[in-house]
């Protein structure tokens, strides 16, 4: 870690102004990811702008929308009664994330911007296109058990690690941003980028742009939603494969279904083709299996992660089975 | 005796530990201490061609940057316990990824760390070999290690296998694993002229002093080195040997002419201080249809390096646990471009996993209950030693409810989970190392024990305090135990399950000697109420000395020593012999086969560790051992990149160890009968490494029972069960 400057922002506009005007600066919220990256030498900044005093931690819900301030902590959102009632998948995704200690510190904005857990990325002594563009991707020919089978490129196959982002993607959430040129709103599904040939660019955020809030529309499907996370230990571990599912059944027929997947894609993975394969059909194991095959039709498995092709399909069967009462 | 030994006495150091009063090695505040930071190689094999320290030297607060060009020349210590067999910063060669290439010394830790990122190194690189699979054809039989051969032949195993009615022939494999104690390795080196004090996190202060003396033979005498290590935040074998960071820090402090402190980063702990070597084991068992073993052919291959050839994953249980007339063990190795391996947490687990899994396979081949199969192959101990392993099987099976087990795999379901029950024998060797103790009884009537043993978290302070209190007939809180300092009488390294068998003898002898000395003073002193009483008639209890049969005629330690006018100081020794401890572990797993998910839902274990000195610390050891056994079976795995031979997951967030949610509560039972072969240690054997040795196999066996799928390659992650 290197010495860096530090400013506490007084207002969102203040934060944006300082960050936009200070080269190689970064915002810091809970610091649970940023500081680890800086300590490990995977990321380095000359200046940090502390967001923790901003009035952006509120959680409100009205008739149509849940609004989560970017500085709301993971725990606050997970335990919020309305979130638990109206959006079980959000609460479950958060409670399945990290540890109680991390969830007390970590904020929603920081969660969406946490960086990949690819070991090569986090090791300053390894090559990595995401960390040092053009240096190569050792994961492709090396250890890639945790890596993506969907959305990768020859430059990077790292997964996005956030569980929350997967749930928000399933729920059609919108990310609100404030930049030097004013505010804008981006659907969460468009917020993260595919790696392509620029894996160092992970989101649509511009220098100095701040996440202020995440909006989640209320739907009937959301009230019947679930997060299934498969991982290598029972707690305090990222997903090998995860599924966020929201389902509205009309009798036995799928009225509405929203699905997003973690651990398999280079960004929180939504494939509307999978949902289309289910919508309007009877919810049977055969139908879900067929939809699962749509999901993995373009999968590119590597030496270590081929099992995810099968596992994610089984996870889908399992979670929709539980949500829909079929086994 | 007041009978403290055996009781589940609470930890005497518990309060100090939970309140932060206990000072661990890096907590020592040394005046004017400078801080070290290491620069590590990013290639695995080759040579340094260029090393530029100018930017680091220009960085604020930097005192010096040591490299092969200006480091103090040191002597490579001849053998174990310096496993590495080379000292970094002495030449340009690179032997593994993550080898120190520069040592930065600065006024603050942050300055040292920042400067370390500014050192520029260029290498001439040779392609490394990182995995056993890539060099199996280079396997060879290494020379004897610590006086033990890597090949052992008993009877004619090949012929017996050929003739066997039933055979099981399989391969069992495990990856590289790391110890991962919570407290990182740390050294603070303080020179005072030509004498050296090291504040270390060391499992063996005496051996550390020896290794440092060998390395610094040109500069300092062994008797002028002091190593201090009163507490460890875990070691698991990683702090048993002495590693290069200790030597480099002492050298840096000498050159910098000021005390230097170094704390390894977590990532550095994946290349600096040993690991469990990647391991493959071909096992061929021959047996009769009744399940009696007739042959074991055991050929293993472990990772070695190009600088040494020491095998730590030994096949001891193949040789010693069961009655089998024909055994052929070969422990081969392959040289890879990796850091040096070493002993890690119950090193015999590595091999034992294969044996106990193969026995389960045999039990299905011959249609015998796995416990019954083991009973049929029971090997009684040679006199005078005891071995109550059959009792362990009975106790464990009863408590677990084993008799209700339907042996057919894949038939028991609860909800969407399949339930499986598996078991295995647990066993580990323990060592006994000559040790000495000194006991002082002062004029306040308080006893102070000094012994250069260590507290590695297992309860050494507590148990030795119990032994002293009992031996003297004194209340527990009148006894203070001081450990972890070479200024005290030499004692065993706290590794190889050797602490109790080695140290309890000298300590109890010292206590007896001290009691006798005080009694002798009392009965000879006309001022004592005990004057003239035959010494044999004096009884000590609660710090008081009585005449047997006449409790009113009494004196006390305090009064006797006070009248005597000076503290009574005595010594004790009590050599012991090595041996084995035993147990049986029973495990229940729940498996969701569709998702490949396994969880351990119940563990019951029964042990024969000889006499139990403290039930609470013994149970604690069982919890720890079983938890690590779950880690070994289900998650632990150091990932090494095949192309760069670099560790990919050197952090606690990527190297998984079990958390509470993975670990059910563990029931433990003890036979608790003294072993006559360990008489000096009051009948207690070494036990530290026994719990957990059977857990990986028991889990594998339980998964088979749950699903009909036999797993032979740890860790058993989801992908392997799909
Ligand atoms: C051991 C461990 C295990 C974990 N396990 C999981 C898990 O299972 N699942 C999971 O989803 N997560 C997991 N996490 C990740 C954790 O959720 C993230 O570290 C956390 O959410 C980051 O939030 P933070 O507030 O601490 O962000 P910080 O570390 O403060 O910031 C992270 C990034 O976001 C930027 N940033 C923060 N807030 C804003 C904002 N409002 N606008 C613009 N930029 C912003 C920062 O500049 C930085 O780049 C784990 C973390 C750890 C340490
Ligand atoms: S997968 Fe991406 S993050 Fe990982 S090494 Fe390759 S480029 Fe870097």
The mean pLDDT value for B541-549 works out to 96
Rounded Cα–Cα distance for residues A46 and A19 (Å): 11
- The CB density around residue A233, as the number of other CB atoms within 10 Å, is 18
The mean pLDDT value for A113-117 works out to 98
pLDDT in tens, B324-362: 999 999 999 999 999 999 999 999 999 999 999 999 999
User: Is residue B39 a contact partner of residue B506, using CB atoms and an 8 Å limit?
Assistant: no
The mean pLDDT value for A37-61 works out to 96
Number of H helices, E strands in chain B: 16, 27
Lookup result for tokens 């430059």: A155
pLDDT at A326: 58
Give Cα B153 to chain centroid, integer Å.
28
- Indicate the angle between helix axes B695-707 and B615-634, nearest 10 degrees: 50
Pocket test residue of A19, A106, A206 for ligand 1, highest count of atoms within 8 A of CB? A106
Note the residue count of chain A: 327
Buried b (16+ CB within 10 A) or exposed e, B531-560: eebeeeebbbeebbbbbeeeeebbbbbbbb
Buried b (16+ CB within 10 A) or exposed e, B176-201: bbbbbbebbbbbbbbbeeeebbbbbb
Rounded Cα–Cα distance for residues A270 and B230 (Å): 56
pLDDT at B79: 84
CATH classification of the domain holding A259: 3.30.390.50
pLDDT band at B2 (very low <50, low <70, confident <90, very high): low
Question: In B594-720, where do the E strands start and end?
Answer: 597-608, 666-670
pLDDT in tens, B285-298: 999 999 999 999 99
Contacts of B292 (CB under 8 A, 6+ apart): B376, B377
Q: Which two tokens stand for residue A10?
A: 């007084």
Chain B nearest CA to A150, separation (Å) = 18
Identical fold for domains B14-21+433-573 and B279-431+578-721, yes or no, is yes
Percent of chain B topping pLDDT 70: 100
How far CA A34 is from CA of A23, A41, A123, A124, B471, in Å, comes to 17, 11, 14, 14, 56
pLDDT at A43: 94
pLDDT in tens, B134-180: 999 999 999 999 999 999 999 999 999 999 999 999 999 999 999 99
Q: Could you give the 3-state DSSP secondary structure of residue A34?
A: helix
The residue ranges of every structural domain in chain B are: 14-21+433-573, 32-127+182-234+239-272, 279-431+578-721
pTM > 0.90: yes
pLDDT band at A325 (very low <50, low <70, confident <90, very high): confident
Task: Name every chain B residue with its beta carbon within 8 A of the beta carbon of A315.
Answer: 595
Rounded Cα–Cα distance for residues B178 and B342 (Å): 10
A230 to B597: CB separation less than 8 angstroms, yes or no = yes
Task: Name every chain B residue with its beta carbon within 8 A of the beta carbon of A240.
Answer: 718
pLDDT in tens, B359-382: 999 999 999 999 999 999 999 999
Rounded Cα–Cα distance for residues B430 and B539 (Å): 35
Residue A197: nearest ligand to its CA? Answer: 2
> Which amino acid residue places its CA nearest to atom 8 of ligand 2?
A128
Contacts of A15 (CB under 8 A, 6+ apart): A9, A27, A49, A51, A54, A210
Percent of chain B topping pLDDT 90: 99
Q: Is the pLDDT score of B126 beyond 50?
A: yes
pLDDT in tens, B395-449: 999 999 999 999 999 999 999 899 999 999 999 999 999 999 999 999 999 999 9
Question: In B230-368, where do the E strands start and end?
Answer: 260-263, 279-287, 293-305, 326-336
Q: Which domain covers residue A293, as residue numbers?
A: 223-324
pLDDT in tens, B489-536: 999 999 999 999 999 999 999 999 999 999 999 999 999 999 999 999
Task: Name every chain A residue with its beta carbon within 8 A of the beta carbon of B97.
Answer: 125
Q: Is the pLDDT score of B658 beyond 90?
A: yes
Pocket test residue of A110, A232, A239, A241 for ligand 1, highest count of atoms within 8 A of CB? A110
In terms of Cα–Cα distance, which of A324, A95, A98, A82 is closest to A227? A95
φ, ψ for residue A92, nearest 5 deg: -65, -40
Q: Is the peptide bond before B384 cis (omega within 30 degrees of 0)?
A: yes
Kindly report the average pLDDT of chain A as a whole number.
Answer: 97
ipTM for the predicted complex comes to 0.96
B279-431+578-721: CATH topology: Aldehyde Oxidoreductase; domain 4 (3.30.365)
User: Is residue B263 a contact partner of residue B276, using CB atoms and an 8 Å limit?
Assistant: no
Percent of chain A topping pLDDT 70: 99
Rounded Cα–Cα distance for residues B420 and B247 (Å): 50
In terms of Cα–Cα distance, which of A199, A102, A186 is closest to A159? A199
Rounded Cα–Cα distance for residues B677 and B525 (Å): 40
Q: Which residues of A touch B (CB under 8 A)?
A: 1-3, 40-41, 117, 119-120, 122-126, 138, 141-143, 145, 230, 232-237, 240, 307, 310-311, 314-315, 317-318, 327
Kindly report the average pLDDT of chain B as a whole number.
Answer: 97
Contacts of A291 (CB under 8 A, 6+ apart): A274, A275, A277, A278, A316
pLDDT at A1: 78
Residue A194: nearest ligand to its CA? Answer: 2
| Helix H or strand E segment including A221 | helix A220-223
Classify domain B32-127+182-234+239-272 at the CATH class level. alpha beta
Q: Is the pLDDT score of A327 beyond 60?
A: no
CA of A20 from ligand 2 middle (Å) equals 27
- The CB density around residue B325, as the number of other CB atoms within 10 Å, is 14
Q: Using CA coordinates, name the residue in chain A closest to B664.
A: A234
Q: Sign of torsion, CA B247 B104 B233 B145?
A: negative
Q: Is residue A159, in this structure, part of any structural domain at all?
A: no
pLDDT in tens, B224-282: 999 999 999 999 999 999 999 999 999 999 999 999 999 999 999 999 999 999 999 99
Q: Which atom of ligand 1 is nearest to the CA of A229?
A: 8
β-strand pairing of A59-61 with B93-94: unpaired
Max distance between CA atoms of chain A, in angstroms, equals 61
Rounded Cα–Cα distance for residues B99 and B44 (Å): 8
The question of whether B689 is a catalytic residue gets the answer: yes
Q: Is the pLDDT score of B1 beyond 80?
A: no
Residue A123: nearest ligand to its CA? Answer: 2
B114 to A1: CB separation less than 8 angstroms, yes or no = yes
Rounded Cα–Cα distance for residues B722 and B720 (Å): 6
Give Cα A34 to chain centroid, integer Å.
16
| Helix H or strand E segment including B349 | helix B349-366
Rounded Cα–Cα distance for residues B442 and B436 (Å): 20
Q: Which overall architecture, per CATH, does domain B14-21+433-573 show?
A: 2-Layer Sandwich (3.30)
User: Is residue B493 a contact partner of residue B203, using CB atoms and an 8 Å limit?
Assistant: yes
Which class for B339: exposed (0-12), middle (13-18), buried (19 or more C-beta within 10 A)? buried
pLDDT band at A245 (very low <50, low <70, confident <90, very high): very high
The number of domains in chain A is 1
């Amino acid at each position: 870690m290197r010495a860096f400057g530090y400013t506490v922002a007084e207002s969102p506009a203040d934060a944006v102004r300082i960050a936009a005007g200070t080269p190689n600066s970064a915002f810091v919220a809970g610091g649970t990811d940023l500081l680890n990256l800086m300590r490990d030498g995977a990321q380095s900044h000359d200046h940090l702008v502390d967001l923790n005093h901003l009035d952006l931690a509120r959680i409100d819900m009205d008739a149509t929308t849940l609004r989560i301030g970017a500085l709301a902590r993971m725990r606050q959102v997970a335990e919020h009664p309305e979130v638990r009632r109206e959006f079980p998948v959000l609460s479950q995704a958060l409670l399945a994330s990290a540890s109680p200690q991390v969830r007390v510190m970590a904020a929603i904005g920081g969660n969406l911007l946490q960086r990949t857990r690819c070991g090569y990325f986090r090791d300053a002594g390894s090559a990595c296109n995401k960390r040092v563009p053009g240096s190569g991707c050792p994961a492709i020919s090396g250890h890639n058990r945790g890596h993506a089978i969907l959305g990768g490129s020859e430059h990077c196959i790292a997964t996005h690690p956030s569980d929350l982002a997967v749930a928000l993607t399933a729920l059609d959430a919108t990310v609100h941003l404030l930049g030097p040129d004013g505010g804008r709103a981006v659907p969460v599904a468009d917020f993260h980028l595919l790696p392509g040939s620029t894996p160092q660019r992970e989101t649509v955020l511009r220098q100095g742009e701040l996440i202020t809030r995440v909006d989640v529309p209320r739907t009937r499907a959301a009230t019947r939603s679930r997060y299934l996370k498969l991982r290598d230990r029972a707690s305090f571990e990222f997903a090998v494969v995860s599924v966020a599912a929201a389902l509205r059944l009309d009798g036995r027929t799928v009225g509405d279904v929203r699905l997003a997947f973690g651990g398999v894609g280079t960004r929180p993975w939504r494939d509307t083709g999978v949902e289309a394969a289910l919508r309007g059909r009877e919810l049977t194991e055969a139908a879900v299996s067929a939809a699962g095959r749509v999901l993995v039709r373009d999968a590119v498995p590597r030496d270590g992660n081929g099992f995810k092709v099968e596992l994610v399909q089984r996870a889908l069967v399992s979670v929709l089975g539980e949500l829909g009462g079929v086994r | 005796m007041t009978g403290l030994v055996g009781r589940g006495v609470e930890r005497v150091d518990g309060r100090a530990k939970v309140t932060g009063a206990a000072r661990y090695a890096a907590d020592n505040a040394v005046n004017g201490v400078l801080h070290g930071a290491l620069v590590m190689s990013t290639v695995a094999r080759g040579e340094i061609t260029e090393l530029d320290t100018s930017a680091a030297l220009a960085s604020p607060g930097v005192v010096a940057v040591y490299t092969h060009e200006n480091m103090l020349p040191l002597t490579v210590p001849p053998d174990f316990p310096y496993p590495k067999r080379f000292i970094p910063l002495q030449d340009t060669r690179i032997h593994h990824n993550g080898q120190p290439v520069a040592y930065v010394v600065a006024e603050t830790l942050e300055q040292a760390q920042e400067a370390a990122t500014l050192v520029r190194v260029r290498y001439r690189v040779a392609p490394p070999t990182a995995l056993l699979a890539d060099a199996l054809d280079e396997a060879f039989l290494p020379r004897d290690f610590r006086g033990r051969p890597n090949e052992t032949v008993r009877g004619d195993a090949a012929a017996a296998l050929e003739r066997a009615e039933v055979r099981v022939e399989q391969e069992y494999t495990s990856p590289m694993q790391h110890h991962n104690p919570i407290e990182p390795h740390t050294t603070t080196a303080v020179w005072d002229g030509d004498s050296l004090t090291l504040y270390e996190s060391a499992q063996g202060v005496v051996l550390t002093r020896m290794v440092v003396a060998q390395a610094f033979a040109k500069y300092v005498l062994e008797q002028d080195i002091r190593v201090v290590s009163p507490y460890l935040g875990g070691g698991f074998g990683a702090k048993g040997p002495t590693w290069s960071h200790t030597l480099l820090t002492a050298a840096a402090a000498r050159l910098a002419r000021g005390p230097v402190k170094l704390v390894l980063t977590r990532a550095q702990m994946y290349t600096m201080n040993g690991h469990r070597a990647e391991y493959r084991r071909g096992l061929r068992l021959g047996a009769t249809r009744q399940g009696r073993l007739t042959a074991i052919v055991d050929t293993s291959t472990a990772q070695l390096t190009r600088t040494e050839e020491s095998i730590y994953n030994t096949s001891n249980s193949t040789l010693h646990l069961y009655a089998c007339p024909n055994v052929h063990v070969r422990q081969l190795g392959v040289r890879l471009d990796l850091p040096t391996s070493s002993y890690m947490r119950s090193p015999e687990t590595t091999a034992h996993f294969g044996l106990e899994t193969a026995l389960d396979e045999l039990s299905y081949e011959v249609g015998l209950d796995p416990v019954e199969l083991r009973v049929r192959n029971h090997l009684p101990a040679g006199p005078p030693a005891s071995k109550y392993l059959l009792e362990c099987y009975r106790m464990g099976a009863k408590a677990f409810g084993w008799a209700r087990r339907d042996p057919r795999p894949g038939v028991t379901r609860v909800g969407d989970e399949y339930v499986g029950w598996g078991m295995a024998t647990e066993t580990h060797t323990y060592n006994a190392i000559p040790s000495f103790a000194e006991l002082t009884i002062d004029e306040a009537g308080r006893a102070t024990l000094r012994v250069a043993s260590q507290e590695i978290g297992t309860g050494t302070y507590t148990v030795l305090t119990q032994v002293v209190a009992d031996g003297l007939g004194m209340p527990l809180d009148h006894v203070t135990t001081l450990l972890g300092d070479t200024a005290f009488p030499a004692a065993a390294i706290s590794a190889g399950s050797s602490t109790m068998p080695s140290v309890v003898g000298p300590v109890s002898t010292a206590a007896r000697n001290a009691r006798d000395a005080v009694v002798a003073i009392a009965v000879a002193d006309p001022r004592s109420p005990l004057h003239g009483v035959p010494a044999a008639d004096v009884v000590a209890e609660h710090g008081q000395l009585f005449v047997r049969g006449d409790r009113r005629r009494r004196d006390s330690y305090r009064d006797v020593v006070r009248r005597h006018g000076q503290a009574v100081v005595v010594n004790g020794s009590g050599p012991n012999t090595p041996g084995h401890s035993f147990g049986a572990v029973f495990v229940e797993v729940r498996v969701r086969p569709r998702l490949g998910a396994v969880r351990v839902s119940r563990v019951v274990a029964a042990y024969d560790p000889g006499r139990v000195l403290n039930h609470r610390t013994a149970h604690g050891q069982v919890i720890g051992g079983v938890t690590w056994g779950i880690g070994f079976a289900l998650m632990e795995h150091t990932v090494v990149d095949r192309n760069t031979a670099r560790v990919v997951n050197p952090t606690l967030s990527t190297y998984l160890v079990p958390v509470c949610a993975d670990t059910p509560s563990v029931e433990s039972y003890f036979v608790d009968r003294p072993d006559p072969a360990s008489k000096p240690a009051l009948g207690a054997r070494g036990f530290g490494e026994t719990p957990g040795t059977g857990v990986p196999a028991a889990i594998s066996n339980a998964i088979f029972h749950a699903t009909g799928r036999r797993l032979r390659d740890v860790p058993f992650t989801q992908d392997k069960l799909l």
